[in-house]
Every structure is written in C-alpha cells, then in structure tokens.
A and B are shown apart, each in its own frame.
Chain A
Amino acid sequence: MTKIVEVGPAGYMPTSAPAMGVELAPEGSALLYGNTVTPEEAMRDAAIALLTRKNPTIFPGPQVLWDWKEDVAEKSAAILDLASEIPNCKIIPMPDYRPKYPKIDVKAEINPNHPNLTILDNRIEACIFVGVHCHYANLTLRMIRAGTNCYTVALCAYMGHEEAMASIRDLHASDIAKFKEIVIEERNKLGIKWETTLPPENPSLPKEDNSTLSPADYGEYRSLIMTKKGEHITDAE
C-alpha cells in the first residue's frame, strides 16, 4: 500500500490530503493512510499504532462530552471501555472550539486551533479523535500532521477524515466496541500484559495566582514592565 497520508511532521505548510487526491471512503469502508480499505484493516493498523507508539491518548470532543443526545451515554461508555484496554492511555478532552486565552492547560485539554501544544508537550505519538465536529477535526488533524509525529485516528459519525492516518466513518457505539476487541487481539499478539484499567482523571492545574507575580517572573522581559525607581506614569505620550 502506498502511504499517501503519512505520520508527520509534514512540514511548514503541508498540502491538504484532499489536494493530494485523497477522497473520503465510501459507505462501509474506511481510510488508511489515504487509501480505501475495510474498517477492520484500518482498525488493526490503528490498534498497533496505539499499542506501540508512545503516550496513546484519546481526545473526546463536544459531541460525546456533553449530554445532549440520546446516543451519548452509550458512546461515551464505549470510548472509556476502549481507553481502558489501551495500556497507559490518557484521555484529554476537547470541550469546545474557542482558542484558549490566555494559556491552555496542556495536561488537561486540547484545542482545535492549537492542538500542537497539547500533542508536543505530552509527547503524544498516537491519538484518537472522537466526537469532534468535522470542520474542526479536519483543521486539527492537518495541523497535527504538519507539526508533530503523532499517528492520528479519526472516529467519525459522518463521512470520516482524509487527514487522519486511519479514519472510520458512520461510527456507532458498536464500532467502538469492535475496535476495542481488535485492540485486545493485537495486544495479545504483541504479548503486552495489561489489566483493564480506566485512564487517570483530568489533571487540571490549579489556577495561576497572578497576585503573587513579581517582575522576576518575567525573566528577560523584566525590563519592559519595570518602571524606573520612583517613576509614576500618569500620562500617556
């Protein structure tokens, strides 16, 4: 198989997968490195990546994080079942799509506008996106391919994603369960010992306390914010 869409980093400004000729897989099929394959083939390759690459992580998006639709409970349960079968898997959510101001807590969340920060800081080399609206998923998958060496898996309720290394379309909870079975099979084949364990809870950092900030915290920029001794600026210009 020729890999059209490969694990990055693809570079400064990569050509998009559709512009490289990748088309979305037809119903009943999946995409693997930009090629149309059976869902099982794509899942098997993705499972091996999640089992062998460093710091596998699942990024659940708003559509499965929030309790807005009937199928959410079933899907979120299936995702956690899957996560607990991947050794040392983490869950880092993407709760919304707005760029994070003033600074993202990279241990606690990922944002579609600057996904690299979370991927690189946590040295994530294999990940799954699930429940992210397609527009944002495409943007974020392309940015990850551009700037990181992360293997991306897209589990999509609609038509899938050209940018992911492995893309499953028309996702239901049963597909996630099937993926979990494939992960277990591949894990046993690889001889990896693992007891079903849920990922650790969200490790949100405590809020920064700006009241204790001192000029020293600004390091080399210190001179920019420091007024001269005794100086009180009351007038602009």
Chain B
Amino acid sequence: MSAVQRPVLNKKQVEMNYLLHEAPREKHFITGAQAMSEAVKRANVDMAIAYPITPQSEVMHLVGDVFAQGHIKEYYRAEEELGTMSAIAGASRAGVRLFTATSGPGLIRGLEAIASWPGHRVPAVLGILTRVINAPLSIQPDNIEMAYMMHCGAVMLHAENQQDTFDFTLAAFAIAEKVDVYIPVAVATEGFFVTHAKGYVDMMSEDLVYKEFDPVASPVPAMDNETPPARIQRDAPVQKSNFMSYLIHSVWQQEIWDSNSRAMKYIYEYLGGPIEVQNPEADVFVVASGCAAAQAREAWRYAQEEGLSVGLIKVKAIRPFPKDEIREAAKNAKALIVPEHNIIGWLSKEIQATIPNGGIVVEGPRVYGGMTLPVELIMVELYDALGIEHNIKL
C-alpha cells in the first residue's frame, strides 16, 4: 500500500500546550514502550523509520502498528542504525516530522549520523531506550550510552517512568520544531525497567493530535524545490583551509549549542522546568535522573517517614543542563547523593562541574550491567551523609 492510499483518520489538530496541559486525560496501565508509541500516535508524525535492537524493538514495532492503523503516513524497517539515522537526516530535508528509536550499541552505530543532525538542523525526535554497550554482549539496562550522546548538541530529556516517557516524547516534537531551537530532541528512559514494565499513564484521547509540521517555519530552507534559494546546500562544505572557513564552522557550532540552550524556555513551558525539587529546605539531597530518580523518590519517601532532612532533585533535562536551577536548589545543601545506572557517573560529574562546592557530591551509589538499584543503597549514603548509624546489610 502506498503512502497515498493510507487510511485517513479524522483527528482534531491542537497546540501542544492544549494537548499536554488542558486536554482531558484517562488513566491507562501500560508499558514504557507502549507509552512512547502512544505519544508518537498523538504527535502527528509523518514518517518513522525502524530498526530492531533489544530493548528498543518493542517501541518501533508498536510504532509500526500505529502506522498500520493510519496514524503515521510512512514507515519502514531500515538496514541498520547508520542507515536509519541517515534516512532520518535525508527525510528531514523534505520538511516532515520524524521519529525513530534505538538502544545502546545501536545508538553508537548510528552516532556518526546522529552527531551531525544538530549541525544539519534536523528536528527529529529520537527515543533512547537504554542498554549496556556490548563487550561482553548483554541486553541489560544501563545508561552509559547517554554519555556518548551528551556532546552531540541534541536536546536530551530523561524520563523517570512510563508517564514521563509519554509526556516527554510528546513535548519533544514541539521543542525540536521551534524556529529558535530546530535541533533533535532525544528522549531517554531505561530499557526493561521502564520499557517492559507497566505503570499508570494518564493519556488524552487519540482523536487529538499535535498540529501538523510546518516546513516553512524553519531556520533553514526545506530542500524541497519549493523553498528558495535554488542554489543551496544546507550543510555547505566549508572546508577550505583559510580563516573564514574555520570561523564559519566555529560560529556554526556555537549556533547549535545556543539553539540547545534556547530549548530551556520550552522545557519550562511544556514540562514545568528541567528539574523537580522536593523538600527544598533539606540538608541532604538525592539528585537523580531517569529510572534512578524513581528509586531516589522512594529513598526520599523512606527518609520522610523517618523525619530526616532529605530532599529530592529530579533532573529531567540532561541537555541543556539545568546549571542555574541545580545551583539554586543545592545552594544550602551539605551533601548531594547521586545514584546512577552507569559506571562512569556522567550525572555526578556534570553536577560537580556545575556547583561551586563540588566536594559535597557523593559519587554514587552506582549500578550497571543490568543490576537493579535497591533503595537501601541510597539509604546507606543518606545515613552516612547525615552521620546516622545504621545496620543495613546488602
């Protein structure tokens, strides 16, 4: 069946603010993979390109079903991730809304193309369902690949649970397509822990969709033979060996990171800000993103029950990194405990570099290789930071 003959669904197009903040919602009990595909269904995506890798596979297979139902206009399974990510870059030149998703080794395989999306001004949304990077081979969750993604220029959101996955994915399309942003937005969440586990997700009716993609409202011309100029290369090779060539490349790179920082105001608009703070007056904070934030939230609940001076800082945006917000939230803190699902501790390093007194950061606890993050691991650090004796055995 060709794209022209796809079933046509009668949906109401609305603004993202209405969709996220006003449209009535109903509670569903679904997996993270379902949540992401349900968001894609409501995002009025033109084209999705799939390639399987565990634990992402379920997302793009469900998106395929969404295509078959007529919610998406075009969908295919590409040859591998570099082919997928390159095809996204090609399709983006035609001025359409795009989605794909991958995991760990797949992200690394596609990274040559992904790393050039921001410079090419590709406003696609990329799902990252985290997984260890192989050697030895494993399919288990671990968000080490996000460290590789952090220096590409893309906006990065990290979802704590199924509800976040749904809301962040939907918001990502609106953020990516702002004229002053127009770079890819990656929405990450943990493989298996979120993708394959069910949680409650409040969703609006699927008869509502985000307004359609506007190929004209763009900081670069669509290469569609409809938009001037004729003699264009959006990604001009500026590789002559002279000062002007170096300068254009450097200001181009600046522009990408400036676009990244311009996304912050939209993260406030759609997601209520890049961080969530609980108990802002606390002495000790657990600072975490993604799935680790769910465990951190549980540790914070334990601490509340015990009457401890403990707060929670959940980091929703990894790029742009909420420097000012974290500095402000942690200004009176005596210790920041940063639990993570990876061995290098990219979040704790970011936080140490952000606050003036990096010494208060407790680097851990960390789990990796697919290990779960028991709340007790965080409690041990909390008791130590508060100088409370304990006999937690792990």
Contacts and interface: CB of A to CB of B under 8 A. Distances in A.
The reply to whether A and B meet directly (CB within 8 Å) is yes
Interface of A: 13, 16, 18-19, 23-24, 62-63, 65-66, 68-69, 95-99, 113-114, 116-117, 133-136, 138-139, 142-143, 146-147, 158-159, 162
Given A114-B244, A146-B247, A134 B230 contact: no
Given A96-B232, A133-B220, A143-B244, 13 more contacts: A16-B258, A19-B254, A62-B221, A66-B228, A97-B233, A99-B237, A99-B240, A99-B248, A134-B180, A138-B219, A142-B255, A159-B180, A162-B258
Nearest to B217: A158
B134 interface: no
Nearest to A69: B216
Interface in B255-277: 255, 257-258, 261-262, 265
A237 to B, nearest CB: 23
B251 A134 contact: no
A142 B220 CA distance: 17
A133 B218 contact: yes
B261 A96 contact: no
Interface of B: 121, 179-180, 182, 216-221, 226-234, 236-238, 240, 244-245, 247-248, 250-252, 254-255, 257-258, 261-262, 265
A135 B121 contact: yes
Give the secondary structure class of B's interface: loop
Given A18-B258, A114-B244, A96 B220 contact: no
Contact of A134 (B219, B236, B245, B254): B219
A113 B180 contact: no
Contacts of B236: 97-99, 113
B251 A98 contact: no
B190 to A, nearest CB: 32
Nearest to B258: A18
Given A98-B232, A138-B255, A18 B247 contact: no
A147 B243 CA distance: 11
A16 B254 contact: yes
B229 A113 contact: no
A96 B254 contact: no
A113 B238 contact: yes
Nearest to A112: B248
A194 to B, nearest CB: 32
22 contacts: A16-B251, A16-B258, A19-B258, A23-B265, A24-B262, A65-B228, A95-B229, A97-B233, A97-B234, A97-B236, A98-B233, A99-B237, A113-B244, A116-B244, A133-B220, A135-B182, A136-B220, A139-B255, A143-B244, A146-B247, A158-B179, A159-B180
Given A18-B258, A19-B254, A66-B229, A24 B244 contact: no
A18 B245 CA distance: 22
A18 B264 CA distance: 12
B92 to A, nearest CB: 14
Contact of B228 (A13, A63, A135, A147): A63
A16 B253 CA distance: 10
Contacts of B240: 99
A134 B248 contact: no
Nearest to A99: B236
Nearest to A18: B258
A63 B219 CA distance: 11
A113 B250 CA distance: 11
B248 A139 contact: yes
